[in-house]
Structures are given as C-alpha cells and as structure tokens.
Amino acid sequence: MTTAVGERVAVDLEEVNRQLDGASPEEILRWGVETYYPRLTMATAFGPEGCAILHMLSRIEPRVRVFNLDTGYQFAETLHLRDRIADKLGIEVELVRADLSIPEYEAANGGPVYAADPDRCCRDRKIVPLRKAVEGYSAWISSIRADQSSHRAQANVVGWDAKFNLVKLNPLLRWTHRDVWAYVVANDVPYNPLHDHGYPSIGCWPCTRAVVPGESDERAGRWAGQAKTECGLHSLDSSQL
C-alpha cells in the first residue's frame, strides 16, 4: 500500500488509483482539488493536453497555481500562448526559470549545452527548477498520456512521484490524441499555432522540429536523431536529480 499525507488527510494512493482509473479528467481534477488544494500545483508546457486541463481548471478551481518551466529556449509562439491563456481562461501561468540566464549558462559551459549533452541541459533547465518549484506542495498535475511513450504508459492516474516527493495526478492518462483535440476544438481552447505547421509535440526550439511524412510518432520531432525521448520530468529514473 502506498500512502501519502496531504494537507489534511492520509491517502491510500493505490486504492484511489483503482477508483479513479477510468474516471473523467474532470473527476480526477476535482478529487485532486478537494484533497490537496491549496497545496496542489500544475506544470504545463502549453501542449494541447495542458491547455485542455487549464480549461477544466478554469471551471473547477482557477486559483490552482500553474507554472511553466521557462528554459530560455522556448518558441515565441509558446510564450505568446501564455498570454492568450490568461486572456481567455483567466489563469496566469507563472514562469519558473533556472538560476542562470541563457547567456550566463552558455558562457559558463563554453557554449550551448543542448548540442553536446541534452540530458544535462534538460536537468539544469527543467528538472532542477521543477524540484524547487514544487517545494511545499503535496501534489502536482501533469498532462501526460499513456499512449505517448513506453515511459508514460507505466504511469498511474494517481500515484506517488518518488522523483519529486509528492503525489502526481495524470488526469489525461487514458485519453488519446484524438480525445484531446476533440476537447480543444469543442471548447475553443487556445493552442499553439505551431501544431498547425507540423509540430505535434513542442519543446525547446533547438531540440524540436516538425515531423516529416511517414513519421507516425507524434514525438518524432523531439530530439530527432538521438536515443533521447524524454526530458526526464516524467521518467521513473530519479538518478538525474
């Protein structure tokens, strides 16, 4: 039995996961809000999944703290989407940054780290800032789907995140790409315009390209030509911290 202590209650995560596996994303989010708010937070990269969850939160509890890991390498379209989300949904997404700016970081390392060691770049610009950002919180919301990768297929709807030492909610885990976009279209949810130009998955601009004909994997444009498929936020390996 995996047990986590939230702000008010002790939670049997294995039992809750059994109960909520198959529930709607809104039901999962409501459980998270009722159990953990205000010590509940969300990280978003402004993908269509994250934008869909933000739309749901705007109706359930818009005061949940939401943040974006601003690596310094994000597309301009991604940062502009943050403003559109604020205008449309009334949710101000906080930008969480690493201690060093990009010029400082590259100067300290003799140039861009993403080219020679993308794992380290992700660790320094994403994982370490995330670990600091969730200090003091009991649970965090992510927007992963099980069908996105083998790593993500191992996740639970609700479970203990040993990497960051808090409960992790994955309300869209059982949704498909089609489910996400059906929700986005039906609810007129703002999304990144790069999705209309061959970018099904969007990360940092140096490590993201449009997919080409014949590539069926929606994450094929991330770290193309490398064995790397994850930034490390959602992997089960805690050795990167």
d(CA 152, CA 27): 21
| Percentages of the chain per state (helix, strand, coil), in multiples of 5 | 40, 15, 45
Given a contact cutoff of 8 angstroms between Cβ atoms, the answer to whether 200 and 47 are in contact is no
Smallest Cα–Cα separation from 175: which of 50, 69, 36, 15? 50
Fold of 3-207: Rossmann fold (3.40.50)
Q: Does the N-terminal peptide bond of residue 38 adopt cis geometry, omega within 30 degrees of 0? A: yes
Predicted TM-score (pTM) of this structure: 0.89
- Annotated active-site residue 51? The verdict is no
Catalytic choice (51, 121, 122, 231): 231
pLDDT in tens, 141-152: 999 999 887 778
pLDDT in tens, 192-213: 999 999 998 899 999 999 988 8
Residue 235's pLDDT is what? 52
